[in-house]
Amino acid sequence: MNTQEHLPRELGCSDCFFVSRSLRPPFGAISRIGIWLSLTFAIAFHLVGVGQYLSEFLPIAPLWGAMAVGILLTALNIIGASHEWRIRNVLFGYIPNNVANYAQCSVLMVRRYLLEH
């Protein structure tokens, strides 16, 4: 087996894999296009819903809220998980460090360091 045969399952498209195997590759391609279109429409509807939700709490139009969330999620996707800790620190601050610095008693902090090979 070559590596391309494992590619669809690893990318989470097992439906495409089974359609392609059972009905031949052209039908698998049609299935992939259909799944891609369904995901595109689902994301658009989710963004509209989030924009409407934001307009209930913030004085912005739902369209601008949806666009802002879409841009934010696109930026997070481009940045990737390697810089996720920076985003977490911006959103939540350095809470453990602040707790340790301003606590009236001793604080034991346990940190997990991942070794990169």
| Chain mean pLDDT for the chain | 77
Query: Range of 26's domain?
Result: 3-80
Tell me whether residue 113 is in a domain.
Answer: no
Q: How many CB atoms lie within 10 A of CB 20?
A: 20
Residue 6 has pLDDT above 60, yes or no: no
Tell me whether residue 13 is in a domain.
Answer: yes
Number of structural domains, the chain?
1
Q: What pLDDT sits at residue 66?
A: 93
- CA–CA distance, 55 with 66 (Å, rounded to integer): 9
- CA–CA distance, 25 with 6 (Å, rounded to integer): 14
Tell me whether residue 65 is in a domain.
Answer: yes
Tell me whether residue 44 is in a domain.
Answer: yes
Radius of gyration over every alpha carbon of the chain, rounded to an integer in angstroms? 22
Q: Name the pTM for this structure.
A: 0.52
Tell me whether residue 57 is in a domain.
Answer: yes
Q: Band of the pLDDT at 13, cuts 50, 70, 90? A: low
Tell me whether residue 9 is in a domain.
Answer: yes
Tell me whether residue 101 is in a domain.
Answer: no
Tell me whether residue 88 is in a domain.
Answer: no
What pLDDT, in 10s, does the model give residues 68-91? 999 988 887 887 767 777 777 776
Q: Between 67 and 87, name the one with better pLDDT.
A: 67
Residue 40 has pLDDT above 70, yes or no: yes
